[in-house]
Amino acid sequence: MDKLIKEKNVKIPLYVTVYETLTQWLKEGKYKPGDKLPGENILAEQFQVSRGTLRQAMLLLQEDGLISNHQGKGNIVLSNQDMQSNGLEKVGNPIVDFCLQPIDKVDTSIGFQPATQKHQQVLKLRPSSIVAVIDITYYSKGHPVGFAMVYMPHEILDKGNVDLEDMDSVYQFYLKLLSSGGLYSNTKLRMSRVRERLSGILNIPEGEAILILEEQLYTEYDIPVLSQKLYMGTDLYELSLRRKSK
């Protein structure tokens, strides 16, 4: 379990390489939106894999929203490939991903405090535990546009071999966590009013509306990794996502 952030293994399953090839084909336009892909039997033979393996690749393509499968019809290339960007439904860094202006400066600071009762709950900590509080301010063109309050069990930071004196190293660790894979979240999104402290940080008058994203991140092992509150200034953010039917 020492590898919260693990390197990819070199071993790549067959169905993944097939999936990657097919993705490439679609990107190249070898098959265009509306086209029917060759039948699964044919493709399987072309790739020299069994049909089952090929179907695993198809499933990945479908999850990406690249194709649509239908019994009797075939596998059809879909047209909405523009929206391939990382939507909100994927774990990432919304403050950076969805800002309408490029983030060009980041300011990080870190502190430590005993776990509050809420932290004990959502981060599954003991009362004696220490929680790292990472504050991150995001700037665009010299102005603050977003702010993050990240709560992380000290243990996690500890295992990450982070230099707590080097703020850049702390921020990089945070980014690496977010992109490390195998994470999922409980996320809540709402609007609220800017209050005292935030008003100073984001340079927004008190009482103004602001977008708040609050979430807990867990590993695939169900281990809490962090809890964070993200503040995004109005008018500067547009969150995109892909929704699917149940």
Partner DNA sequence: TCGTATTTGTACGTATGTATT
Partner DNA sequence: AAATACATACGTACAAATACG
Scanning residues 48 to 87, which ones bind DNA (CB under 7 A)? 48-53, 55-56, 58, 69-75
Closer residue to DNA in complex, CB, 36/193: 36
Using CB under 8 A as the criterion, what x/- string covers residues 58-87 for binding a copy of itself? -------x--x-x-----x-xxx--x--x-
Residue 26 interacts with DNA (CB under 7 A): yes or no: no
Residue 81 Cβ vs DNA, minimum distance, rounded to whole Å: 19
Phi, psi of 68, rounded to the nearest 5 degrees:
-130, 130
Asked if 9 interacts with a copy of itself (CB under 8 A), we say: no
Cα–Cα separations (whole angstroms), residue 160 to 1, 69, 107, 163, 190:
12, 42, 20, 9, 32
Stretch that binds a copy of itself, among 134-142, 151-159, 167-175, 203-211 (CB under 8 A): 203-211
Q: Which helix (H) or strand (E) holds 100?
A: none
Q: Which residues pair with 192 in a beta bridge?
A: 210
Q: Which stretch binds a copy of itself (CB under 8 A): 9-17, 128-136, 139-147, 214-222?
A: 214-222
- Which residue is listed with tokens 């019809």? 73
One-letter amino acid of 148: A
**Is 138 in a helix, a strand, or coil?**
strand
Pairing assessment for the beta strands 209-219 and 224-233 based on DSSP bridges: antiparallel
What string marks each residue from 176 to 195 as x (binds a copy of itself by CB under 8 A) or -? ----xxxxxxxxxxxxx---
